[in-house]
Structure 1
């Protein structure tokens, strides 16, 4: 596996994990899951602060991994385009070489037929 594909797979994995973590912590920060046990004096500050910190870190991780994913994908596309151009040029070069070899072979055959015709005639 090429290095670009390996890095791209890592960026996708990190992006998926960080987005899942972001969704899990954002529900805690936004308090989308209220307590059913009755009115509480409020969540402890360390839980909200910890969840907020995790949300910020996972957002930062998501952004960085998304940028990395886009960059490696762009680099891979450029590399594939360059390799396809090189392969096309190589194919054209080989076709020209084959045509040249055929021309040389045809010339050798003509020389052989004329030399054979000349050697059969007595002087």
Structure 2
């Protein structure tokens, strides 16, 4: 499933931003976002990349929707997908040869941004 999660930008430093996802602070790449962001803005994150700045007029509705999806029980697969997406923000699988599931991860970079754009079939 391809899933994005909204979060609030707390700090921007070049092509990276610190983003708060319901109290979980993660670093997110800004290479693929559709317009500039600044602290206080909300973005839609997908595997560590901001893919969209959420317009001010849509923030409350978007957060309400996601909060309702997060309210499911421990066996709710959508809730688990959302939690996995938040946990994945700001890192990509290691290319060090470590086995899958190993806690080792490396920060997302520009090459990862290009791969994501290609995967989503987005030309920039």
TM over 0.5: no
Question: Please, what TM-score do these two structures have when normalized by structure 1?
Answer: 0.24
Bigger radius of gyration among the two: 1
Name which structure has the greater RCO, CA cutoff 8 Å, separation 6+.
1
TM-score scaled by length of structure 2: 0.24
